[in-house]
Amino acid sequence: MKRFMIHSSAGDYPLLCGRGLVGRRGWLARQLPGERTGVFLLSSPRVWRVCGPALAAALDPAQPQRILFDDRETAKNLQTVEKIERALVRAGADRGAAIVAAGGGVVGDVAGFAASSYMRGVWLAHVPTTLVAQVDSSIGGKTGVNLKEGKNLVGAFYPPQLIVTDPELLKTLDARQYRSGLYEVLKYAVISDPLLFDVLERTMDRVVARDAEVLDWVVSRCARIKGEIVGQDERESGLRQVLNFGHTIGHALEAATGYRRVLHGEAVGWGMLAAVDIARQQGLVRAADADRIAALVASLGRLPRLPDRRESIAARLGSDKKAHAGRLRWVLPRRIGEVEISEDVPEALVRDVLGRLPQLFPKRAGKAARKSASREPR
């Protein structure tokens, strides 16, 4: 098991990462605060179907009360938060409650927001069960829900008191969900870790196949990178903004398609290709590095088809929460392992890139892409 501390203004908290942690009977229950007045497991029906026995064993004998909610992106809204909090009231949860959020990014964001606002804040632990959640969304205290106008526009910074990451749980993911999480892994390689990038180039077949040795290394390395970044910039006033590589257009694409057509990681994949092309056209990144980044994105297989009218994506960019004084902030690669934050991207260039976005996907996607072609989402 690997253990490292994540700095937070509310108090440092541990991230425990190890294969099989959740499968140990009673292990998670022993990590909970002794002064708790009740344990409440917040998850979703589909997570509970595949991970329920392991979670129940790990929390034995804490006897958690279970509250399940819809974890589709379309249900990531204020109405779901209200349902959770009213269920907590009916279950007798008070300020001494301990909430354990078990699931993917939607569960973590929604349950975290509920924990931040219920009784003005209760004890919170994350048990991420998807790759996106294990390497990204569970770390750093961002919580939130969507509005029709955009993604994650309502939320709070509310760091957990504990994160337990078990790569064994990733076996429960279907191929598309798992592959979606790998785009977030690629993000870390591009923004700060040339070694991770090199390892992914050499071992992508093993990563896609969920080889335990390489996957455990990748998960813990990405989690450590995220922890170090958010520990230096908790409120996204500077360094933490680099984590938005691929997310500017990615979030707009999710909103434009009603959070139904593409998974979050897939949208980020398209967003990374767009950011690389913008950087190339502005002369920020060498062609060789741009080609390597695009090829690594393509090595995961075909991305979902884009809507025919990409004006709707452009229209959503204006409501992005990363905009500052009406100007969008773009995270653009300078080289593999280094990015810069720029507000100097002409609107005409953005529209040009959006218009050509399908053509930015490399024609030669590589062996991993060919293997996954039969699973291409439509």
- Tens of pLDDT, residue by residue over 251-260, are 999 988 888 8
- In percent, how much of the chain has pLDDT > 90? 84
pLDDT, mean of residues 170-195: 97
pLDDT of residue 289: 97
Hey, what CATH class is 175-375 in?
A: mainly alpha
Q: Where does the pLDDT of residue 326 fall: very low under 50, low under 70, confident under 90, or very high at 90 and above?
A: low
Residue 320 CB-half CA count within 13 A: 25
pLDDT in tens, 119-141: 999 999 999 999 999 999 999 99
Fold of the CATH domain 2-172: Rossmann fold (3.40.50)
Instruction: Check pLDDT > 70 for residue 325.
Output: no
87 or 320, higher pLDDT:
87
So which residues are the catalytic ones?
120, 142, 184, 226, 236, 240, 244, 247, 251, 264
- In percent, how much of the chain has pLDDT > 70? 94
250-254, 316-320, 322-326, 338-342: segment of lowest average pLDDT: 322-326
Instruction: Check pLDDT > 50 for residue 296.
Output: yes
pTM of this structure: 0.91
pLDDT of residue 319: 65
pLDDT of residue 21: 95
pLDDT in tens, 95-118: 999 999 999 999 999 999 999 999
Domain ranges of the chain: 2-172, 175-375
pLDDT of residue 374: 36
Instruction: Check pLDDT > 80 for residue 322.
Output: no
Instruction: Check pLDDT > 70 for residue 67.
Output: yes
pLDDT, mean of residues 325-347: 91
pLDDT, mean of residues 316-338: 81
Average pLDDT, rounded, for the chain: 92
